[in-house]
A and B are shown apart, each in its own frame.
Chain A
Amino acid sequence: MTAGAEDNPTNLIDALAAAPAESPFVTAWVNEAKFERVTFGEFRRRSGLQACALRVQEIAAGDRVVIIMPQGISAMTVFVGAMMLGAVPAFLAYPNIKIEPAKYRSGLAGVTANLKSKLVVIDENFPAEMLGHVTLGEEARLLRVSDRGDLHARIGSEKSDENRTQDIAIPGDNIAFIQHSAGTTGLQKGVALTHTAVLRQIEYLRKALKIHGQRDRIYSWLPLYHDMGLIACFMLPMVCHTELVIQVPLDWVMHPASMLQVISRHKCTLAWLPNFAFQFVARRACREPEQQYDLSSIRALINCSEPIRASSMQEFERAFTGIGLKSGVLHTSYAMAETVFAVTQSDVNRPSGPARIWADGGKFRRSHRVVPVEEGTAGAVCFVSSGRLLPNTEVRIVPENGTGRSLEQGQRAAPGQVGEILVKSDCLFEGYYNRPDLTAKAIVDGWYHTGDLGFMLEEELYVIGRKKDLIIVGGENIYPQDIEEIVASHPAIHEGRAVALGAYNPDTGTEDIIVVAEVEEEALLANAAAIEQELRSRVIAAMGIAVATILLKPPKWIVKSTAGKPARSTTFEKLLREHPEFDTASEASR
């Protein structure tokens, strides 16, 4: 540890070194009878041993170390062990049922080739058929480790070596690690982050969330290869000396109620969740006797990493208010790997939770501008704020020119006017790792072009959706999620299985809205005409816009993303193959 590290650490390892040795750090929770807890002191010791083992493998400062291990304390100590040497670790996703094998294989080959790592650490249970897709350069080695993930035990490095890592100086402007941009597989673009940028971001979050090292306890089932899992639920507690209780993502998916169990038992105060999880847990975790759980310890449950839907948060509130969930503790954040993590955070002191605004739906779609109306007004749309900007963070909303293209970035939208969100911050990444081509497209004059649409109002940022998904019909801006939510709420349509797309119509010179929706069961297709008419009526009634074509499809027709959600672009490609009549139109519009 360098001098003065306790007060002002220059790198992440200094921050870990300053933690009280006896304070609990990570509890890896499996169930009530099976869990492992390590203190900060023990975590440091294990990380030191992993570092020694990595050094035996000739890993030195600047070398990339890829870690493909099941989520847990061992994977975390390999990660920190690599950082102790000044090396650059990167977690990659471990294959599981949620990830389609073909996509995983292709992504794995691409990412490992791009990282040019010196060592790839993979556990012994990694599927043999996937190994051939790990790309190793000339100097790279593959290291298989046991279930426990103890590199030192595998390699036979000496324990007496463990303190030698403390002599290694790690300047703050060195790359700390590489995290991969949003995507459930984690097999995406690599974002290299310096120690300084990560520490700065964590300091901003610590202040915004008023994190107290000893009083707070973080719960997480989030994968460590995703920024929300890696930054908010690993680096942040490590730097703030906060206890963390983790679960394996698949265990959570199989037992959503276990999240309530862990929070209740360990009195967790903070957690981050993607939007879908609010709905997923609320719908599947209510069968247990209510008195078994107590969510009163939660002071911030933060909706992050997906467009925020007010309905998902309301459903969660309704489901769990009876078991102690306090009013105003559901919060929001806008975050991305490219800014380390958060750009905004809602005010945790605001008793009513994040700001919400109701806007005239028709005016919003026509002018792409928010005109506030009273809550409950017919045709109103509700937007939930993602909060205010973190310190030293700027956002510029660049309006569009009416055809979906952004104007020059020098032009700024008025408050309430929608445009592409550009971000500049002292946490901004310097580029995609080994991908100057992608970097040049993403960062222009210091501004990161997020590809997201949103608006600022009263210093709050509202994020609406992805720019590439926007449908423009006769100058009206239609967000596919709004239509999809209405269509999927019909009893004949399977939950979450509706996709709205825009296809250029050369006769009208604008886009037509096409909706593809899966029926609950194939027999319902015999009644397709009546269902289609009901869907049209519902969309018209709620949004005042007409859907040109509704295509009802049998179960499993819509192409899913690796996250299990409908994938708009690949579904559109499939649609064109089955319905070539839309093909010419799409060519003209894209």
Chain B
Amino acid sequence: MNAEKTQMIEYIIRRIRKPGVKIDESTPLFSSGLVDSLALADVLVKLEDLTHTRIPPGMVQPQDLETVDIMFATVERVGKPAK
């Protein structure tokens, strides 16, 4: 697992305030209820910061951020380099 994915997992654990929870690259985040809708914006911002990209509005749905692996694949697909 690369450093950015590790940082994202650490961020999500802090954001959902569950220090003991086990999250890896393939843990379902939204369909499982671990991450709620109002946290979507924060996760997306963190993802953009970690990958130095911008993801335009309307290009992603919650399922595109369902796991850490999927969200990094989403960046590859729709992310634009940050200015």
A-to-B contact residues, CB < 8 Å: 30-34, 96-98, 247-248, 250-251, 253-256, 258, 261, 280, 284, 287, 494, 518-523, 555-556, 560, 564
- From A248, A256, A284, A522, B58 is in contact (CB under 8 Å) with A248
Inter-chain pairs besides A254-B60, A258-B57, A556-B18, 17 sampled, C-beta below 8 Å: A30-B57, A33-B56, A34-B58, A96-B37, A97-B30, A97-B37, A98-B37, A251-B57, A253-B41, A254-B41, A254-B44, A254-B57, A261-B57, A522-B20, A523-B19, A556-B17, A564-B36
B62 touches A250 (CB 8 A): yes
A255 touches B37 (CB 8 A): no
Q: State how many angstroms separate the Cβ of B69 from the closest Cβ of chain A.
A: 19
Among B52-83, those with CB < 8 Å from A are 56-62
**B50: CB under 8 A from chain A?**
no
How far, in angstroms, from A287 to B36 measured CA to CA in the complex? 22
**B4: CB under 8 A from chain A?**
no
B-to-A contact residues, CB < 8 Å: 14, 16-20, 30, 36-38, 40-42, 44-45, 56-62
Report if A31-B17 is in contact (Cβ < 8 Å); known contacts: A254-B41, A284-B42: no
Report A-chain residues with C-beta under 8 Å of the C-beta of B16: 555-556
- From B37, B41, B57, B62, A564 is in contact (CB under 8 Å) with B37
How far, in angstroms, from A520 to B42 measured CA to CA in the complex? 16
Report B-chain residues with C-beta under 8 Å of the C-beta of A522: 17-20
B17 touches A494 (CB 8 A): yes
22 contacts between A and B (CB under 8 A): A30-B58, A34-B58, A96-B37, A97-B30, A97-B36, A97-B40, A98-B37, A247-B57, A250-B37, A250-B62, A251-B57, A253-B37, A253-B40, A494-B17, A518-B17, A519-B17, A521-B17, A522-B18, A522-B19, A556-B17, A556-B18, A564-B38
A280 touches B38 (CB 8 A): yes
Report B-chain residues with C-beta under 8 Å of the C-beta of A560: 36
Question: Could you count the A-B residue pairs with CB atoms below 8 Å apart for me: how many are there?
Answer: 68
Report if A255-B44 is in contact (Cβ < 8 Å); known contacts: A31-B57, A97-B30: yes
A255 touches B38 (CB 8 A): no
How far, in angstroms, from A287 to B48 measured CA to CA in the complex? 12
Q: State how many angstroms separate the Cβ of B58 from the closest Cβ of chain A.
A: 3
B17 touches A520 (CB 8 A): yes
* Interface secondary structure of B, over-half rule: loop
| A252 closest partner in B (C-beta) | B57
How far, in angstroms, from A256 to B42 measured CA to CA in the complex? 10
| B54 closest partner in A (C-beta) | A288
Report B-chain residues with C-beta under 8 Å of the C-beta of A250: 37, 61-62
How far, in angstroms, from A280 to B19 measured CA to CA in the complex? 25
B40 touches A254 (CB 8 A): yes
How far, in angstroms, from A522 to B57 measured CA to CA in the complex? 34
| A34 closest partner in B (C-beta) | B58
How far, in angstroms, from A384 to B14 measured CA to CA in the complex? 35
Report B-chain residues with C-beta under 8 Å of the C-beta of A256: 41
| A31 closest partner in B (C-beta) | B56
Report B-chain residues with C-beta under 8 Å of the C-beta of A519: 17
Report A-chain residues with C-beta under 8 Å of the C-beta of B56: 31-33
A284 touches B17 (CB 8 A): no
| A497 closest partner in B (C-beta) | B17
Report A-chain residues with C-beta under 8 Å of the C-beta of B30: 97
Closest 5 CB pairs of A and B: A30-B58, A555-B17, A255-B57, A258-B57, A31-B56
How far, in angstroms, from A519 to B19 measured CA to CA in the complex? 12
Report B-chain residues with C-beta under 8 Å of the C-beta of A33: 56
Report A-chain residues with C-beta under 8 Å of the C-beta of B44: 254-255
Q: State how many angstroms separate the Cβ of B60 from the closest Cβ of chain A.
A: 7
How far, in angstroms, from A555 to B18 measured CA to CA in the complex? 7
Q: State how many angstroms separate the Cβ of A552 from the closest Cβ of chain B.
A: 13
Q: State how many angstroms separate the Cβ of B71 from the closest Cβ of chain A.
A: 12
Q: State how many angstroms separate the Cβ of A50 from the closest Cβ of chain B.
A: 24
| B56 closest partner in A (C-beta) | A31
Report B-chain residues with C-beta under 8 Å of the C-beta of A564: 36-38
How far, in angstroms, from A253 to B57 measured CA to CA in the complex? 10
Report B-chain residues with C-beta under 8 Å of the C-beta of A255: 41, 44, 57
Q: State how many angstroms separate the Cβ of A396 from the closest Cβ of chain B.
A: 37
Report A-chain residues with C-beta under 8 Å of the C-beta of B59: 31
How far, in angstroms, from A495 to B40 measured CA to CA in the complex? 16
Q: State how many angstroms separate the Cβ of B13 from the closest Cβ of chain A.
A: 9
| B40 closest partner in A (C-beta) | A254
Q: State how many angstroms separate the Cβ of B38 from the closest Cβ of chain A.
A: 5
Report A-chain residues with C-beta under 8 Å of the C-beta of B61: 250
Report B-chain residues with C-beta under 8 Å of the C-beta of A261: 57
Report B-chain residues with C-beta under 8 Å of the C-beta of A254: 40-41, 44, 57, 60, 62
How far, in angstroms, from A98 to B56 measured CA to CA in the complex? 21
| A33 closest partner in B (C-beta) | B56
A521 touches B19 (CB 8 A): yes
How far, in angstroms, from A522 to B36 measured CA to CA in the complex? 18
Q: Which of B16, B30, B41, B45 has the most CB of A within 10 A?
A: B41
